[in-house]
């Protein structure tokens, strides 16, 4: 049990940082004390949000180095865009190396990096200064997932045998900022952006609670990517209109649908399956997370839009569009689900609690950058499989140097 408090600084002040802040009221023993973002007024806004939420006396900082140098900051949450990850980690590690300051830990959002080479570099940097690192994957902390998994294994699997099939999907109508849509910045399309969640989730569900992650080895991968919606001429124009001229899906598209089948080998030598789909071409009420876990005499299923709370607005209610009912909301009329306390439902609260305690107690978190690297390897193998049009033994040859065509701006769907 921690006897001190962890002072936390955020890098990035966008959508994801604000989600963490919303959930922080449920996190003990830690205060959000700083924010750095290249746009000083955005950093100031995010710091003000933290203060308003009562989760710490946060202030904006002029640089990452300043955050590291402040003895009040014990840990960083890395929530910048994917293409800035490596440079962010380089600056942090450089500040530590020059003894500007010390950190108890660093937590990094998904995906750890855009390809295997970058991920290895990031991991090497953290190791070079002995930094305790954590990989932020909120979905494996979602209460529906953790409770469902633990009861399925305790009741069903213990009496009738281990689960053999896990399914996961994350679907919405498309990301909120231009850089996500640009393969050359983000590292890919929806496979890179959202399959990182689903790939880790199926693995988590299929792993016996308490057992090491290495007891389930990915051995074969089949990936598929497609552009179902956003290369249609009318949507190319809409996307450009919303995201700016640099997001041109007639010239440089990224996939808006991806599926992957991961065949795992268990410690006993059995094959079990993880099947996942992700899309930016799903138009429903809003973000839909779903998962299933199936075994010989049992099953579990979760759908985040089956929220239990529904609101109805008649056609006379023609209000402004917003995201007050659910993330990536698509409508404000008719029968709409409302996800109460999204930060808790999606796993942010339990996730941040876990990483705070790990850093305060100098313990290795449940998910580290080694796990982040392993996820990147699975994603890159899925892209490789999709490009070659065949299943691949995992890890395939050439994985370390592989950069998907989407990430090179060369993909032709
Ligand atoms: N866990 C989840 O479900 C989830 C959800 C959304 C985003 N994410 C991840 O979180 C990260 C941030 O995504 P977001 O949705 O907040 O994006 P965003 O575009 O909303 O915010 C990004 C923030 O980073 C800042 N930034 C710009 N350049 C930077 C630089 N050089 N260094 C550091 N920060 C910089 C921007 O000013 C902005 O404040 C991404 O890696 C994304 O994949 C995770």
For position 324, what pLDDT does the model report? Answer: 94
Give residue 190's Cα distance to chain centre: 12
For position 351, what pLDDT does the model report? Answer: 98
Q: Which domains does the chain have, with CATH numbers?
A: 6-137+349-368 (3.40.50.720), 140-345+374-408 (3.30.360.10)
Nearest CA to ligand 1 atom 25: 12
Can you give the pTM of this predicted structure? 0.97
CA angle 202, 206, 210 (to 5 degrees): 120
Nearest CA to ligand 1 atom 30: 84
Cα–Cα distance, 167 to 345 (Å, whole number)? 19
Among 47, 66, 79, 190, which is best to mutate for testing ligand 1, by the most ligand atoms less than 8 A from CB? 79
Q: What separation in Å is there between the alpha carbon of 14 and the centre of ligand 1? A: 6
Cα–Cα distance, 375 to 367 (Å, whole number)? 11
Q: What separation in Å is there between the alpha carbon of 303 and the centre of ligand 1? A: 25
Q: What separation in Å is there between the alpha carbon of 311 and the centre of ligand 1? A: 31
Q: Determine which helix (DSSP H) or strand (DSSP E) holds 378, and give its type and residue range.
A: helix 369-388
Q: In what order do the strands lie in the sheet with 6-11?
A: 59-60, 30-36, 6-11, 75-78, 105-109, 133-136
Q: What separation in Å is there between the alpha carbon of 12 and the centre of ligand 1? A: 6
Which phi and psi angles does 311 have, rounded to 5°?
Answer: -120, 150
For position 100, what pLDDT does the model report? Answer: 86
Q: What separation in Å is there between the alpha carbon of 285 and the centre of ligand 1? A: 24
For position 223, what pLDDT does the model report? Answer: 98
- What 3-state class would DSSP assign to 311? strand
Ranges of the chain whose pLDDT falls below 70: 1-3
Cα–Cα distance, 137 to 259 (Å, whole number)? 19
Give residue 341's Cα distance to chain centre: 18
Q: Tell me which residues have their CB closer than 6 angstroms to ligand 1.
A: 11-17, 37-39, 42, 79-82, 84, 88, 109-110, 138, 177
For position 99, what pLDDT does the model report? Answer: 85
For position 3, what pLDDT does the model report? Answer: 60
For position 118, what pLDDT does the model report? Answer: 98
Q: Which atom of ligand 1 is nearest to the CA of 13?
A: 39
Tokens encoding 68: 């590291």
Query: Is the N-terminal amide bond of 395 cis, ω within 30° of 0?
Result: yes
User: Could you tell me which residues are beta bridge partners of residue 166?
Assistant: 274, 293
Query: pLDDT, tens digit, for every residue of 75-101?
Result: 999 999 999 999 999 999 999 999 888
For position 101, what pLDDT does the model report? Answer: 81
Residue pointed to by tokens 């924010």: 35
């Amino acid at each position: 049990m921690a006897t001190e408090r962890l002072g936390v600084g955020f890098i990035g002040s966008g959508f994801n940082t604000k989600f963490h802040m919303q959930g922080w009221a449920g996190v003990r023993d830690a205060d959000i004390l700083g924010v750095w973002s290249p746009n000083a007024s955005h950093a100031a806004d995010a710091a003000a949000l933290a203060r308003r939420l009562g989760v710490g006396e946060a202030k904006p900082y002029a640089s990452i180095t300043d955050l590291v140098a402040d003895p009040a900051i014990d840990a960083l949450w890395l929530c910048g865009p994917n293409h800035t990850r490596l440079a962010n980690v380089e600056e942090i590690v450089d500040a530590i190396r020059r003894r500007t300051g010390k950190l108890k830990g660093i937590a990094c959002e998904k995906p750890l990096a855009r390809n295997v080479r970058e991920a290895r570099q990031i991991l090497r940097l953290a190791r070079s200064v002995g930094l305790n690192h954590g990989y932020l994957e909120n979905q494996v902390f979602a209460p529906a997932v953790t409770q469902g998994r633990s009861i399925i294994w305790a009741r069903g699997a213990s009496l009738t045998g281990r689960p053999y099939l896990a399914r996961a999907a994350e679907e919405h109508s498309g990301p909120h900022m231009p850089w996500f849509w640009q393969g050359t910045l983000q590292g890919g399309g929806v496979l890179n952006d959202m399959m990182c969640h689903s790939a880790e989730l199926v693995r988590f569900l299929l792993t016996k609670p308490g057992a090491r992650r290495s007891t389930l080895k990915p051995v074969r991968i089949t990936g598929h990517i497609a552009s179902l919606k956003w290369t249609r001429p009318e949507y190319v124009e809409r996307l450009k209109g919303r995201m700016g001229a640099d997001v041109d899906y007639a010239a440089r598209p990224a996939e808006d649908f991806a599926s992957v089948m991961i065949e795992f080998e268990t410690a006993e030598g059995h094959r079990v399956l993880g099947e996942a789909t992700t899309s930016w071409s799903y138009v429903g009420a809003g973000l839909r997370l779903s998962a299933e876990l199936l075994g010989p005499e049992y099953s579990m299923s979760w759908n985040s839009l089956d929220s239990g709370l529904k609101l109805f607005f008649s056609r006379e209610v023609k209000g402004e569009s917003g995201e007050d009912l659910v993330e990536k909301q698509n409508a404000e009329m008719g029968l709409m689900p409302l996800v109460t306390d999204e930060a808790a439902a999606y796993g942010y609260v339990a996730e941040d609690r876990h990483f705070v305690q790990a850093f305060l107690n100098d313990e290795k978190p449940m998910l580290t950058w080694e796990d982040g690297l392993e996820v990147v390897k699975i994603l890159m193998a899925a892209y490789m499989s999709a490009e070659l049009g065949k299943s691949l033994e995992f890890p395939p040859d050439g994985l370390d140097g592989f950069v998907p065509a989407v990430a090179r701006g060369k993909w032709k769907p």
